[in-house]
Amino acid sequence: MWWYTLPMIMYTFFDTYNFSGKTIIPFNTHAGSSDGGTYQTIREFEPDATVKDGLAISGGSAFDGSTEDAVKSWLAGLE
């Protein structure tokens, strides 16, 4: 999350590539904004892609490992 949205490089990424027919699995780190609506933004950018439920975790908890179980359970749910 940067300034309540995707970092600009991600806008460029979605502008540059065609994700029609692809599956996008979003995830991000943040400092309090969670996904900030960015997964919905990705769905709007890529209407012909399948965008799965993502996982937002705070940068601090990613660093200290306290969200490891949440990551594992999210990954298992994607199978």
Ligand X SMILES: Cc1cc2nc3c(=O)[nH]c(=O)nc-3n(C[C@H](O)[C@H](O)[C@H](O)COP(=O)(O)O)c2cc1C
Please give the residue ranges that form the binding site for ligand X (CB under 6 A). Answer: 1-4, 29-33, 59-60, 63
* Nearer CB in complex with ligand X: 13/18: 13
Kindly state the smallest distance separating residue 36's Cβ from ligand X, in Å. 6
Kindly state the smallest distance separating residue 39's Cβ from ligand X, in Å. 14
Kindly state the smallest distance separating residue 73's Cβ from ligand X, in Å. 20
Distance CA 58, CA 78 (A): 20
Nearest to 58 by CA among 78, 30, 19: 30
Q: Which helix (H) or strand (E) holds 16?
A: helix 8-16
* Nearer CB in complex with ligand X: 29/52: 29
* Nearer CB in complex with ligand X: 51/56: 56
Nearest to 3 by CA among 25, 30, 27, 39: 30
